[in-house]
Amino acid sequence: MLSLGKLLELTLAGREPAQQTQMTVAGTRLRWLAEGALEVTPSVARDCGLDLLLSAGLHGNETVPVALLDELIHAIARGELQPRARVLFLFGSPGALRRGGRYLEQDLNRLFCGGHELSSGPDAIRAGELERLADAFFAQPGRARLHYDLHTSVRASAIGPFAISPWHESASPSRAQLARLATLGMRGVLYHRAEVPTFSGYSRQHLGVDAFNLEMGNLPASHGFYTALEQRLRGLIQGEGALPDESLADELQPFRVVREIVKHSDAFQWRLGEGIEHFSELPRGTLLAVDEATRWLVEEQGERLVLPSARVRNGMRAGLVVVPL
C-alpha cells in the first residue's frame, strides 16, 4: 500500500508524509495537501468528470465516519479501488481527533461562511484552511460537484439516517441528488431556510456545490448501514452507472426548519430526557429548554426537535425545531 494511504495514521501522529505525491500502478495520483487532507486524481483517460469532497471528523469524537473514509483511502492506496472521480478526503479537526473530544476550543462546524474571520484560535484557523482547500478543489469549471460531510451523534434518530440540505438562494436540491441520497441509505432530508455556518453550508452557499450533511445518529460501527454506505461511495468514486431513478427521491421524508433554539447564557438547560430521539414528535406545549427568563415550547402540533446540544458557546445554536413538509 502506498504510504499516503495512511492519512489517518499521519493525522493522528501530527506528521507530514516523507513523500507528498505518489502514483498507483493504474495512474491515480495521491497528493497530500495539508494536515488531514488528501487529493486523489485519476488519469485523464479515466476521469468521469465528477469532483467529490468527502469530509468527516469535524467533531473529533465522531470516529465511525472517519474510519469509513480511512477504509476508502486504504483501498485506493492498495489499488483495489480505482477512482474515475477526483476526490478530496478531509479529516476536519485533526486536533480534536487526537484529543478524542468534540472540538478544541469551539465548535469548528459553526465557524464557516465568515465565522472564522470573527473569531480566533485553532478552530478558526482550521475553518479558514478547510474553506481554502474546498475553493481550490472545486475551481475547475464544467464538472459535476458533490460534497458529503459525514456525522454521527449521541442520540438515535426516529427516522433513521438523514441528510441536511443547506439553504441556497437560487435552488433546492434536484430530484436526482435526492434520489442519490436515498441510495446512500438516507431516510429523510432536512431543509434549512437560511444560511448556516457549517462546512457543507459553505460549499453550497458560497461555491454552488451540491452539498449535504449525512447524519447517521448513533448507529454502532458494526451496523450494516455502514457497509452499504461504503459500497455506495466506492461506486460513486469509481464512476459507476448513471444517476439513480429520480422516483427514489420520494422515499425521503422531507422536513423544514421552523426555528432555532439559541443558547444565550450558561444557565441554558434542556428539559427533555436523554433518551429522546431526533425527529421524535412532541405534544404541543412541551417545554423544550430554559435559559434565564427565556422558555422554548412546542408551539404547533407536529413539531419535532433535531440536533439538541447544550455543549455550545453562548450565542450559538443549541437545537433545531422542524416540521414535516
Task: Verify that 48 and 126 share a domain, yes or no.
Answer: yes
For the stretch 128-167, pLDDT in tens is 999 999 999 999 999 999 999 999 998 899 999 999 999 9
19 & 128 share domain: yes
Whether the pLDDT of residue 226 is over 80: the answer is: yes
The active-site residue, picked from 215, 274, 277, 300, is: 215
Average pLDDT, the chain: 94
Same domain, 94 and 140: yes
**Is the per-residue pLDDT at 125 higher than 90?**
yes
Buried/exposed code over 273-298 (b: 16+ C-beta within 10 A; e: otherwise)? eeebebbbebeeeeebbebeeeebeb
Please indicate, yes or no, whether residues 100 and 125 belong to a single structural domain of this protein.
Answer: yes
pLDDT class of 172 with cuts at 50, 70, 90: confident
pLDDT at residue 273 is higher than 80: no
In the predicted structure, residue 11 carries a pLDDT above the cut 70: yes
Query: Do 247 and 261 lie in a common domain?
Result: no
Report whether pLDDT(209) > 70.
yes
Please indicate, yes or no, whether residues 262 and 223 belong to a single structural domain of this protein: no
Residue whose C-alpha is closest to residue 300's, from 321, 271, 318, 279: 321
pTM for the complete prediction? 0.96
Give the end of a domain, one of 190, 224, 251. Answer: 251
Give the list of residues 6+ apart from residue 301 with CB closer than 8 angstroms, or none.
Answer: 283, 284
Beta strands at 317-324 and 144-151: parallel, antiparallel or unpaired = unpaired
Identify the pLDDT of residue 272. 83
Phi, psi of 287 (to 5 degrees): -80, 120
Same domain, 204 and 284: no
Q: What is the mean pLDDT of residues 253-278?
A: 90
Residue type, 287: L
The pLDDT assigned to 275 comes to 76
Of 112-116, 123-127, 174-178, 272-276, minimum mean pLDDT range:
272-276
Domain of 246, CATH number, reads 3.40.630.10
**The pLDDT value given to residue 316:** 83
Domain boundary among 192, 227, 251: 251
Give the pLDDT mean for 256-267. Answer: 92
Whether 7 contacts 39, CB under 8 Å: no
Is residue 7 located within the same domain as residue 144?
A: yes
Regarding whether 100 and 246 lie in a shared domain, the answer is yes
Beta pairing partners, 95:
none
Residues 150 and 171 in one domain: yes
Please report, rounded to a whole number, the percentage of residues in the chain having pLDDT higher than 70: 99
Q: What is the pLDDT of residues 73-95, one digit of tens each?
A: 999 999 999 999 999 999 999 99
Query: Which tens digit of pLDDT belongs to each residue from 27-60?
Result: 999 999 999 999 999 999 999 999 999 999 999 9
Cell 459535476 appears where? 144
- The answer to which of 7-16, 63-72, 242-251 has the lowest mean pLDDT is 242-251
- Tell me the average pLDDT across 117-128: 93
Which of 220, 251, 282 represents a domain boundary (last residue)?
251
- Provide the domain limits for residue 135: 3-251
Judge whether 195 counts as a catalytic residue: no
Per-residue confidence (pLDDT) for residue 276, from 0 to 100: 84
Amino acid 120 reads S
Per-residue pLDDT for 241 more than 70? no
Same-domain check for residues 209 and 265 = no
Residues 240, 268 share a domain: no
Residue 290 C-alpha cell reads as: 430554559
d(CA 153, CA 136): 30
Q: Looking at residue 315, what is its pLDDT? A: 85
Query: Count of domains in the chain?
Result: 2
Q: Tell me how far CA of residue 58 lies from CA of 71, 93, 289, in angstroms.
A: 18, 5, 26
* Cα–Cα distance for residue pair 113/205, rounded to 1 Å: 8
Q: Please report which helix (H) or strand (E) contains residue 98, including its range.
A: helix 94-99
